[in-house]
Structure formats: C-alpha cells, structure tokens
Amino acid sequence: MSNAVDTAFATLMGLVGRYSPSGQEEEAVAFLVRRFAELGYTHAYRDAAGNAVSVMGEGPRQIVLLGHVDTVPGEIPVRVETLPGEGEVLFGRGSVDAKGPLAAFTDAVAAVGPRPGWQFVVIGAVDEERESRGARFVAQQEGYRPAFAIIGEPSRWHRVTLGYKGSAWARVRVTRSLAHTAAREESAAEAAVAAWLRVRQMAETFNTERPRAFEQLQPTLRGLASGGDGFTEWAELTVGCRLPLDVPPDDWYARLREALPDAEVQPQGYPIPAYVSDKRNALVRAFLQAIRAVGGRPGFVRKTGTADLNIVAPVWGCPAVAYGPGDSRLDHTPEEHLPLEEYARAVAVLREVLVRLTKESASGKAF
C-alpha cells in the first residue's frame, strides 16, 4: 500500500488494527481519543462508561454520530488485498461491523470542521455486541439532546437504514419428578424439547400472513442445559427472539407464557423494542441528496437485527437513521472486509450530509 493511501485511511487502519472484542475495547478507545485530537476536534475524551467521545464546534444545536468500537470475538489478520470487482479491500475484524462506519464518522466530521451554530459529537461506544452498555449510558446523559442522530452500522455507501427489529431473551425452565428410565413419564429434557417445538409452532402461526422477515417473529434456541438433585430433574432453554414493530417485548413474554403454561419463563438481559424511523424529515432528505451528489442511487433498508438505534432514538426523539460503508452480510464472518473505495464514498456522503444539515442554521432557510 502506498503512503498516500495509508494516510487517507489512517483512522480506519488504526481502528481495525486494534482488536477489540466486547470487554476489551481500551486500546481501541485510547487510539480513537488520540485520533480525535490529531484531527483537530474541539474536545476528545473517554467518558465514565469507557466510550470514546469527541466534539467539533461549540454551537447550541447538536448532531450526534454514534458508532461502536467493540466487535464480536474472532481475530482476523489485518491486511489489504485486491479482490476482483472490489479493488483494494481491508480485511480485519470490525472493518464492516462497525469500525468502518465509526472511522467514516470521524474522518467526515474532521473534513467538515466547525459549523456556525452547531456542534458535531462523534462517539465510539463500547459493548454494543453484548448489552449496549455504552449506548445506554449515552442515552441517560442530559448533555446529549441532538437535532439529528446518525448511528454507525453498515448499510453500503448508497443506502440508509431506517429501522431494526427488536429483541428479547428468556430462560425457559421445566421441572419433573425423577423417574426410572424404564418408566413412561416424560423427562425434563423431553419436556424442554417439546416446549421449544411449541415456541416454533407459535411463531410459524403468527408469521403465516407475514411474508417479510422484518414483520415476523424469529425465535432462536441459543442454549440447552439439564440436571437434577436425585429427586427432581430440570431442563433450561435459552430462547431469543427478533421482534417485529407490533410485538413489544412484554407482548412476546406474554405469548411465551401462554404457549408454555407448565414452564417458568424468566426474561433475561435487556429487552429492546423494534424501531423504525420516519422517512419524511430533513435528515433523510440530506442523505438522499448527498448520495445522489456522490454519484449513487439511494435506497432504504430495514434490518432484522438490533442496533443502538433502537436504544437512543426513542429517548432523543429526533430524526435518526443508521448509515455506514460495508456489506452487512459479512458481519461476524471470517471473511469480513471493506472495500477502500466504498469507505471513501461513504465519507464523501457523510460530508455532504453534515454540510447540508448545517446550512439551515447558517442561512435561516431549510435546504
């Protein structure tokens, strides 16, 4: 790789080059705070939750660009290769999900610089791949009341993500009196298997008239354990579910309990409702115009996963979308890689978006 290319992608290379699975983000956060300072941000620091935070400008109106610095486990050797149809690509864990989008935020804001009447806040949150501790902390802080919010997740450079499904986890436990193996009584393990099959059937029935995955219940069995004390035996299932917009977590838990009257259903972790942004606002218009200006044909997408957008957007109540370079089909895979040309286009789009949004303040007119 040439020195010029290395310099142009220094933020991206530096972030991806620091392996940071959830719970081990310190080195990547420290790099990002240093990088903010090098790029001329007004403020750069690590907050009480461990997030990397920067501010560009001092104006009263705020645009928050929230990415995440952590990744799933599984280190991938960081390298640049040339692939047919993609050109130079960067391999490395997080290149797509989601250090690429976070680095693009960082470089775009640095390129735009301070804008009259505005401040840009770029945050590299921790723990997004587990329980979103970083984003939950940010959502609770009074200092963040943005006019617009952009969440860093891969959507390809020419697409904007409007929404994500919700998610909910539960522990399902069944118990039985211990019986001799020659007896015909159902074992706890058998009861647990039957319970899971009822959950699947319940979801399939719900989904009958819903051909789109975004509108469906999507349960998954993520764990199974069993044991006993010589008198009783038990079996536990760990069940997760991706939720559509019209099934909030409390509704899902009620459906589980109705389907499994003989089991104990215990919610686990942090249930998250689905979220979908309105397309009719200045933020979405700015993205459509910016993508066209950079030479793309814009599109929208709704994703079946869950992201920090679900957490902060309902709290902030402002126009909010997710955006970033990268093919989300490569998320969490051994082949995770990001074309450098796509990264550069995403930075250009973000620059256009930020300039267009902040023109309104400078001119007193909507663009």
Report the C-alpha gap between 263 and 191 in whole angstroms: 9
Ordered DSSP codes for 280-341: SSHHHHHHHHHHHHTT---EEEEESS--THHHHHHHH-S-EEEE-SS-GGGTTSTT-EEEHH
Enumerate residues 6+ apart whose C-beta is below 8 A from 333: none
Report the C-alpha gap between 91 and 334 in whole angstroms: 9
Phi, psi (5° rounding) for residue 75? -70, 135
Residue among 287, 355, 322 at smallest CA distance from 108: 355
Which residue numbers are catalytic? 70, 128
What SS3 state is found at 251? helix
Residue among 313, 316, 310 at smallest CA distance from 243: 310
Structure tokens at 239: 């069940």
